[in-house]
Structure 1
Amino acid sequence: MSFWIVAGAITVSVAAVLVRAVLRGAGRDTGSRTASDIEVYRAQLAEVDRDVARGVVTKDDAERVHAEIARRLIAADKAQKSEDSTQHRAPVGAALAIIAVGVVGSLASYLWLGAPGYGDMALKDRIAFAEEVRKTRPAQSVAQDSLPPFVDPAEMDDRYRALMAQLRETVAARPDDQQGHALLAQQERRIGNYAAAVQAQARLVELKAGGASPQELADLGELRILAAGGYVSPEAEMSLRAALVKDRSNSTARYYIGLMLAQTGRPDQAFRIWDQLLRAGPADAPWIPPILEQIEELAQLAGVNYSVPDIGTGTQRGPTAADVENAAEMTPAERMEMIGSMVVGLSERLATEGGPARDWARLISSLGVLGEWERAAAIHANAVEVFAGDQSAIELINAAGRKAGVVE
């Protein structure tokens, strides 16, 4: 409430100053140039009379000058009356209208774009708030129940509809059939019945107990997200993290974990995950198009000056491990000629665009070979900070640090 009181007081004060300036300006304008001309002409008439009295000007010349000045005075007086009645009222009204539109427009813009009553937060508070949002976000059932019930697609023919009904009956009659549940989850997903697909996939994972593959767990998480209309619920996150426990490189799970972080107020972490996925490719991976659509906006929210990199080539940028090993056998001059430019280019790219952990590791190793240990240690510390929370990336970076002699 105090925010609106202060904001309202400031708005009224500014509007009052502007209105006062307009009205005062209008008053001055009414008697401005034309009024000044009238005063000049009257002074000239008086001066002519004084010149006649002193004998400086003859009476005939004075009459001619007097007539000309009087003519100009009458014209100026008419112009002033016309100006008062037509020219000044419209600009004043227009100015007041513009002020009113500005005040109302500012209020409307803030209500649309701003967050009334929501003050700025320190980084520590933002992180704590995001964690609270993540912990208290709605459950899977709440999200699913908020969506309309599934309806068979209009293009679904009668034969396929009959086959689906038969498959559902068969799987219901054989609740322990893993292959049946896998097939049912696939077909329910195909027609867009994601809620039913979740049930089938969840039963499949349950039947396999600890033997479910990372991709099966990731598929369960993805189906839960699809069934919730794109929302990553706590249950979906649980499935995705279970997949990552078995395979840290599972791209499906990593993409959706990034989506969860973006939804819960951690665009910095989401950007790092998606940037790594984008650079790793391949270009035809299903997660590449949605990342390309959102990553620039995500980078802006994360405070990163970012340009979308080239993807899909599968080639490495910067010196390879073989380059580094060969350089170690050369003379210092030959080593610098072979690897120096590559190290510079890789360092500049990582500093401006970022990159996957393997590129950071190659740079650290290369600097160790070249004997630039202080620089290697500084880049190692930076990389550890960039990839905080990604254990596999940290292990790769620490291995490069040990190789360069900057990590014990």
Structure 2
Amino acid sequence: MFWFFCAALVIIVGLAILTPVWRTRGDNGAETAAGFDLQVYRDQLREVERDLTRGVISAEEAERLRREIGRKVLEADRRAGEESPAARRNSAGWIGAVLALALLLGGAVWLYEREGVPGMPDLPLAERIAAAEAAYDSRPSQTEAEAAAPVPDRGEIDADYAALIEELRAAVAKTPDDPQGLALLSMHETRLGNLEAAITAQRHLIEVKGPDATAYDHLMLVSQLIEAAGGLITPEAEDELARALQLEPQSAQGRYMLGLLQAQNGRPDRAFPIWRDLLEEGPADAPWIAPIRAAIPDLAWLAGQPDYTPPKTAMPALPGPDADAVAAAEGMSEEEREQMISGMVQQLESRLATEGGSPEEWARLISALVVQGRADHAGEIWGEAQTRFAAQPEALEVVRKAATEAGLAE
């Protein structure tokens, strides 16, 4: 069917290009008109000779007619000489049109051979769904995905921070069932990039809590598994995601990951309604909004919703000092002004740690800490941001830019 439509389009395009040229050639008719005139004059000369033989006209009248027709023949011959260049130009135009059509079709074939898939058979919707299901069933395991994932470069670790982590590990080893110690160890191992240790600690934390484990606990483990697998949601991560959504079906972070799972496995028809609802619900500064907004136009088209228009929700301005604070700062000493700025940075850090925030706010916190000369702590925040946004490449890129400018990442 595909090649049938291609052939039909070739014929239509060829006719569209050649028909005007053909009409111009026919309308010009230079050679046809000259030949027709000469033929008429020859017939008139033969008619004069017949009339003379039958005695219808005299010899003098016949001679007069011959001279008159002869002048017309000469005039027609002169006009034929003038019309011949126009006919040649018309023929050249016809040849040029044919060459242009040949180049156009040849270029199309070359481009399709280079960029297209000539051997690809028709793929009806049922077959696409079947292929997506097959890809879903054949996903690599967590172990296989981790083995294939690139090893991230975490940079150097501050010696004091490394010493504190060693103390934390020793404390957890003494009290391995302490939920608070396990939660801290899981978080800090993730920051350090020790994802295997972080996953082990998080799994044990969930086991210790038992039925009291929260959706956040499971989602934390999902994020670690995804990051360790290079961004892929493996069957093991999906199982944890299902547990989180069972505990909290309306979890925005869990629904975002569910939409990502469907998108990764060739089901944009399932991913689109999930992400559409999240985008419309907001809030606009939620960390999943930016990656959804970037991907949803293509996702909507693939899901059969080409007319979908994302809501035009303006991103809120990042928090900062109000007019009164700015006015008060003008009368402060340098030390007081630094204390005010440090308080604002601390307030932002506390809010991001407890409530989360947009990637722009994480980027701002990293930049502010570097300006304050706290590059080591900024590196810790960068490590935590990588965990938080592991399943959101577009959002992570915003934070990565700030970390790169601060010399914390490459």
TM-score by length of 2: 0.58
**Which AA in structure 1 matches 2:244?**
A
> What is residue 256 of structure 1 aligned with on the other side?
257
**Which AA in structure 2 matches 1:251?**
A
> What is residue 106 of structure 2 aligned with on the other side?
100
Deviation (angstroms), 1:65: 2.9
> What is residue 224 of structure 1 aligned with on the other side?
225
> What is residue 243 of structure 1 aligned with on the other side?
244
Q: Note the alpha carbon deviations across 1:248-278, whole angstroms, 9 max, x for none.
A: 2322222212221222343333333333333
In 2, Cα distance between equivalents of 1:275 and 1:12:
39
**Which AA in structure 2 matches 1:68?**
E
Candidates 116, 119, 144, aligned match of 2:123? 119
**Which AA in structure 1 matches 2:97?**
P
Q: SS in structure 2 opposite 1:282?
A: coil
Q: How does 1:5-404 map to 2 (within 5 A)?
A: 33-46=29-42, 49=45, 55=61, 58=65, 61-77=68-84, 80=87, 87-108=93-114, 110-111=116-117, 116-117=120-121, 119-122=123-126, 130-153=132-155, 156=156, 158-159=158-159, 162-163=162-163, 166=166, 170=170, 173-174=173-174, 176=176, 178-190=179-191, 194-304=195-305, 305-309=307-311
In 2, Cα distance between equivalents of 1:178 and 1:77:
99
The answer (yes or no) to whether the contact 1:130–1:264 under 8 Å persists in 2 is: yes
The answer (yes or no) to whether the contact 1:15–1:103 under 8 Å persists in 2 is: no
C-alpha spacing 1:91/1:181, structure 2 compared with 1 (3 Å): same
Computed over aligned residues only, the root mean square deviation of the Cα atoms, in angstroms, reads 4.4
The answer (yes or no) to whether the contact 2:214–2:244 under 8 Å persists in 1 is: yes
C-alpha spacing 1:149/1:106, structure 2 compared with 1 (3 Å): closer
Q: SS in structure 2 opposite 1:111?
A: coil
The answer (yes or no) to whether the contact 1:178–1:207 under 8 Å persists in 2 is: yes
User: Which runs of no fewer than 5 residues in structure 2 stay unpaired?
Assistant: 52-60, 316-410
Q: SS in structure 2 opposite 1:286?
A: coil
Structure 1 range deviating more: 91-100 or 15-24: 15-24
The answer (yes or no) to whether the contact 1:139–1:233 under 8 Å persists in 2 is: yes
C-alpha spacing 1:60/1:132, structure 2 compared with 1 (3 Å): closer
In 1, Cα distance between equivalents of 2:311 and 2:121:
39
C-alpha spacing 1:270/1:199, structure 2 compared with 1 (3 Å): same
**Which AA in structure 2 matches 1:222?**
S
The answer (yes or no) to whether the contact 1:130–1:266 under 8 Å persists in 2 is: yes
In 2, Cα distance between equivalents of 1:126 and 1:132:
10
Greater relative contact order: 1 or 2 (C-alpha under 8 angstroms, separation 6 or more)? 2
Please tell me whether Structure 1 or Structure 2 has the larger radius of gyration of its CA atoms. 2
C-alpha spacing 1:258/1:19, structure 2 compared with 1 (3 Å): closer
Deviation (angstroms), 1:182: 2.3
User: Which runs of no fewer than 5 residues in structure 1 stay unpaired?
Assistant: 1-5, 314-408
C-alpha spacing 1:45/1:288, structure 2 compared with 1 (3 Å): same
Structure 1 range deviating more: 293-302 or 242-251: 293-302
**Which AA in structure 1 matches 2:106?**
A
The answer (yes or no) to whether the contact 1:214–1:244 under 8 Å persists in 2 is: yes
In 1, Cα distance between equivalents of 2:15 and 2:270:
52
Percent sequence identity is 30
The answer (yes or no) to whether the contact 1:282–1:311 under 8 Å persists in 2 is: no
Q: Note the alpha carbon deviations across 1:54-84, whole angstroms, 9 max, x for none.
A: 6486555444433322212233446556766
Deviation (angstroms), 1:159: 3.4
In 2, Cα distance between equivalents of 1:7 and 1:130:
22
In 2, Cα distance between equivalents of 1:15 and 1:275:
40
The answer (yes or no) to whether the contact 2:2–2:122 under 8 Å persists in 1 is: no
Deviation (angstroms), 1:301: 3.0
C-alpha spacing 1:175/1:137, structure 2 compared with 1 (3 Å): farther
Deviation (angstroms), 1:236: 0.9
Deviation (angstroms), 1:279: 3.4
**Which AA in structure 1 matches 2:31?**
A
